[in-house]
Structures are given as C-alpha cells and as structure tokens.
Chain A
Amino acid sequence: EAGVAQSPRYKIIEKRQSVAFWCNPISGHATLYWYQQILGQGPKLLIQFQNNGVVDDSQLPKDRFSAERLKGVDSTLKIQPAKLEDSAVYLCASRGQLTYEQYFGPGTRLTVT
C-alpha cells in the first residue's frame, strides 16, 4: 500500500510571496489533515477534511492560509502572502474510515527568507 505523498519536499521563498503544497493521501482514506511543525515543536493541526468538506479549520490563519480538497482525494494548502514565521514543515496525514491511526507523509519543508 502506497503511503501519503507530498510535494515539493523543500521550498524556499521570500516573504510576501505565495506558495502551494500538494498532498495525495492513502487510497480510500476519506479523512485528510494538514499540520504545521515549527522547529523544536510538535505538529499543530491546521485543517481537517472529511471527503471534500472541511471538518475543522479553527487553527488555520485564514487571512493568509487556504486549503482545498475539491474531488475528495488530493489536497492543496496555499500560503499567500508568506511571512517569516511560516517557516516550518507542513505535514499531511490521512486516516481510513475503519481505522484510528493517522498516517503521515514525509512533509514539505518551507523556508521563508
């Protein structure tokens, strides 16, 4: 079974630029999560999707962050405009209907200069 795929793996941008990250969950997993992990911290949930609907986006900075999962499979997370404090690893995870475990992708490391 293929794992959660993410791209790009690394991205360097200047502040005020925009950036987008892509995630492809494990096949058949209806629930998808985006987490932000700042260096030295544990991951923090940004948004949770169930199929193509948003379940929880209470910790998403909506003035600059947006996410979508149009067909209930792949998802994109966008930051516009980026700030220095957005430098972090962005992790995507998915979970099946009958399982409790979340499976994580390798992450995208974003550096904002």
Chain B
Amino acid sequence: KQEVTQIPAALSVPEGENLVLNCSFTDSAIYNLQWFRQDPGKGLTSLLLIQSSQREQTSGRLNASLDKSSGRSTLYIAASQPGDSATYLCAVRVYSGGGADGLTFGKGTHLIIQP
C-alpha cells in the first residue's frame, strides 16, 4: 500500500527566505507526483505536476524535483512571501489496474511566512 509522508509538518520562516518542503513515498511505481496548495476553507490548487519520467518542473518561484528510485520529491520555494502561507500537499498517482488512478496524499506541510 502506497504511503506518502511530508516533512516538516509545520514551518514558520521570515519573509524572503528560500525554503524546501519534503515528500517521500513508499512505492516507486508511480505515474506522476503533484504538489498542491490549500488555503484555509478552500479546495486544492495544483502547483506543479511531475511525470515519472521527469526530474523536475518549475513555475515562477517554485521548483519541484522528483527522484523516483529513492521515493522522494522536494518543493523549493524561492524568496518566500506572506502570500505563500498555506498548507502544501504532495500526492502521487499510482495506476492500479482497471483505470483506477486516484491520488494518495501526504498530510501536508503547514507553512507560515512572517512579514
């Protein structure tokens, strides 16, 4: 059974710092990995999706890397801003036959950027 772990569970840093969020998964047979952002009381917003054949994806100040063989991904946020404060969730897509491909999520990292 696939399990996804995110470290740290919570993080508080001053504005302007670069930071790294970590995600690990137990089964390396994944199709892709997706990073989401969740604001309080809101749904999930997709940030980056990395296919299993890719090593990294970039969008603005965000960079996500994937090491499938070791079961790890990192989300790098450059020059953090107070607006980046949210919960960040990592999820993997595993194809389990018959078209079943629901995401398996970690518990998230709650990020606070201090002004």
Contacts and interface: CB of A to CB of B under 8 A. Distances in A.
Interface in A62-113: 91, 93, 100-107, 109
Interface residues of A, number: 25
Given A50-B99, A105-B43, A106-B43, A100 B51 contact: yes
A56 B35 CA distance: 23
Interface residues of B, number: 28
Given A42-B89, A50-B99, 13 more contacts: A33-B102, A42-B107, A43-B105, A45-B103, A56-B96, A56-B99, A56-B102, A101-B34, A101-B49, A103-B46, A104-B36, A107-B43, A109-B41
Interface of A: 4, 33, 35, 40-45, 48, 50, 55-56, 58, 91, 93, 100-107, 109
Interface of B: 4, 31-32, 34, 36, 41-46, 49, 51, 89, 91, 93, 96, 98-108
B43 A104 contact: yes
B102 A42 contact: no
